[in-house]
């Protein structure tokens, strides 16, 4: 259980509640943006909602996204490009022109990076405009067309794809157990600077636990998810279907080399940790900033004696 206890500590130190003040700032800004958009676009849009790791409860305090999704009606704009341009122009006028934030067009969204506040915090929120596929069908289907402003996920600039962000969020709802594993893998990804898509990891983990009957401790579950990824990612017949678009196999954007790399990386983590559990600390480090002191925590791995100078040489 030592490994699982350590992993619990990792999750604990990466909780969003550790940065509640910042989270509150995000929420306030999000409400402000939502209000402004609703006021500006009025009946051209359906209810604005949030997505990203905030909405999915997979955020960690080292990496999180807050996306504000704006579902436009089919007749609001004649083209998807007009839609994203208009949203950009509106937000630019509201924030950038007044020197409150930088507003730029991104891959499928408009990014707003607010100026640093008095605490030095900088809020970054992405606004994702989407247009319903057929007039007045959105309430029923939640399907939206997103415009690609840059080449992304195999799509060329100027093209679009159908997605269902609500379905993507619902896909992970009520799956607390899976969310823990997703968060751990996202911590690995962030700490070791891996460029795999979080969405792919999310789908992998959810699929890995569809028929899971193994032990419930954190390490057993994490190991199972990693083994599942290692075993399946290179399988040509294996697919990860986007719950927002049944035609989108998320794995197809990963080339054979990256698939092999991911498989090896997952396998390496398992074998190294099984050989020496200290490897957990390298792959899944705690957030030292929010770590309890030794006296406070009262659990975890054996006290590791860090060398006073963990120096490397050359």
Partner 1 sequence: MIDIYDIEKFLNEMECISRATVVTSGDSRCISIEITLPDLKAPLSFDVDFDPWYPAKACGEESIHFRNISLIEYPHIMEQGRLCLHTISSPDWQEKLTSDMGQLCEWIQNYYIDKKKDVHFEHLVVKESLINGCYHSFNYARTTTSFKIGECGYVSYNSLMDGVKNGKIIKNYIVANYYSRKNINHTPIHTSEFSDFYCSTDGCAISPYIVIDSIPGNQGKFIFENYLEFESIISQEQKKHIYESSRLLKCDLFPLFIGYKIPSGEFAWNAAVIDKNELPTVGYPECINGHKTGIWLSRFVDQPIKWVMTNDISPDFFFGRGCFPTKITGKRILIMGIGAIGSMVAHTLVRGGCRDISLYDFDIKQPGNVCRSEYDFFCPTNDKKNDLSFALRRISPYVNIDSYKNEFDAYVKIASRSNSELKESIATDFRENYDLIIDCTTDDDVMYALEQLDLSIDIVNISISNHAKELVCAFSPSIYGFVRGVYKDVIKNDSNDIFYPTGCWNPTFKASYNDIGAKLQFAIKRMIKMLSGDDLKQNFIITEDANGVHFQPC
Identity of the residue, 45 or 184, whose beta carbon is nearer to partner 1 in the bound complex: 184
Residue 174 near partner 1 by CB under 8 A: no
Q: Give 33-40 contacts, CB < 8 A, sequence gap 24+.
A: 33/68, 33/91, 33/112, 33/125, 33/127, 34/68, 36/94, 37/68, 37/70, 37/87, 37/90, 37/127, 40/90
Identity of the residue, 134 or 264, whose beta carbon is nearer to partner 1 in the bound complex: 264
Identity of the residue, 122 or 252, whose beta carbon is nearer to partner 1 in the bound complex: 122
Q: Closest distance between partner 1 and the C-beta of residue 150, in Å?
A: 16
Residue 212: other Cβ atoms inside 10 A: 15
Identity of the residue, 193 or 247, whose beta carbon is nearer to partner 1 in the bound complex: 193
Contact window for partner 1 (CB under 8 A) among 26-34, 76-84, 191-199, 289-297:
191-199
Write the burial class of residue 222 (CB in 10 Å: 0-12 exposed, 13-18 middle, 19+ buried).
Answer: buried
Query: In the set 74, 281, 291, 292, which binds partner 1 (CB under 8 A)?
Result: 281
Report the DSSP beta bridge partners of residue 132: 144
Question: What's the CA gap between 2 and 302, in Å, rounded?
Answer: 8
> Which residues, in sequence order, are CB contacts of 137 under 8 Å at separation 6+?
143
Residue 102 near partner 1 by CB under 8 A: no
Q: Closest distance between partner 1 and the C-beta of residue 81, in Å?
A: 28
Question: What's the CA gap between 70 and 50, in Å, rounded?
Answer: 9
Identity of the residue, 28 or 116, whose beta carbon is nearer to partner 1 in the bound complex: 116
Identity of the residue, 239 or 268, whose beta carbon is nearer to partner 1 in the bound complex: 268
Strand 67-72 to 124-132 pairing: parallel
Residue 279 near partner 1 by CB under 8 A: yes
Q: 82 in helix, strand or coil?
A: helix
Q: Are 25 and 300 within 8 A, CB to CB?
A: no
Q: Which positions from 210 through 269 interact with partner 1, judged by CB under 8 A?
A: 257, 260-261, 264-265, 268
Question: What's the CA gap between 161 and 145, in Å, rounded?
Answer: 5
Query: In the set 43, 135, 295, 306, which binds partner 1 (CB under 8 A)?
Result: 306
Q: Closest distance between partner 1 and the C-beta of residue 131, in Å?
A: 33
Residue 120 near partner 1 by CB under 8 A: no
Residue 195 near partner 1 by CB under 8 A: yes
Q: Which residues bind partner 1 (CB under 8 A)?
A: 191-195, 257, 260-261, 264-265, 268, 272, 276, 278-279, 281-283, 285, 304, 306-314
């Amino acid at each position: 259980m030592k490994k699982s206890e350590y992993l619990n500590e990792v999750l604990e130190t990466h909780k969003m509640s550790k940065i509640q003040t910042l989270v509150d700032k995000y929420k306030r800004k999000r409400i402000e943006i939502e209000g402004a958009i609703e006021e500006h676009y009025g009946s051209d849009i359906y209810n604005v909602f949030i997505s990203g790791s905030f909405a999915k409860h997979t955020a960690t305090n080292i990496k999180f996204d807050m996306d504000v999704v704006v579902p436009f009606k089919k007749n609001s704009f004649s083209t998807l490009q007009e839609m994203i341009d208009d949203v950009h122009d509106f937000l630019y006028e509201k924030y950038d022109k007044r020197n409150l934030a930088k507003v730029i067009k991104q891959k499928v969204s408009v990014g707003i990076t607010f100026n640093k506040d008095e605490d030095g915090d900088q809020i970054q929120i992405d606004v994702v405009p989407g247009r319903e596929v057929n007039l007045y069908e959105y309430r029923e289907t939640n399907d939206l067309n997103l415009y690609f402003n840059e080449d992304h996920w195999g799509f060329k600039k100027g093209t679009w794809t159908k997605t269902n962000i609500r379905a993507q969020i619902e896909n992970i709802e009520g799956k607390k157990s899976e969310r823990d594993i997703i968060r751990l893998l996202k911590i690995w990804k962030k700490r070791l600077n891996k460029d795999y898509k979080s969405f792919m990891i999310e789908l992998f983990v959810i699929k890995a636990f569809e028929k899971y009957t193994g032990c419930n401790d954190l390490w057993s579950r994490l190991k199972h998810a990693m083994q599942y990824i290692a075993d399946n990612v290179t399988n040509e017949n294996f697919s990860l279907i986007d719950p927002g678009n049944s035609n989108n196999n998320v794995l197809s954007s990963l080339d054979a080399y990256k698939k092999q790399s991911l498989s090896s990386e997952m396998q390496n983590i398992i074998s190294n940790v099984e050989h020496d559990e200290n490897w957990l600390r390298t792959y899944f480090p705690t957030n030292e900033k929010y770590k309890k002191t030794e006296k406070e925590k009262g659990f975890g791995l054996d006290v590791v004696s860090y060398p006073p100078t963990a120096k490397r040489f050359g």
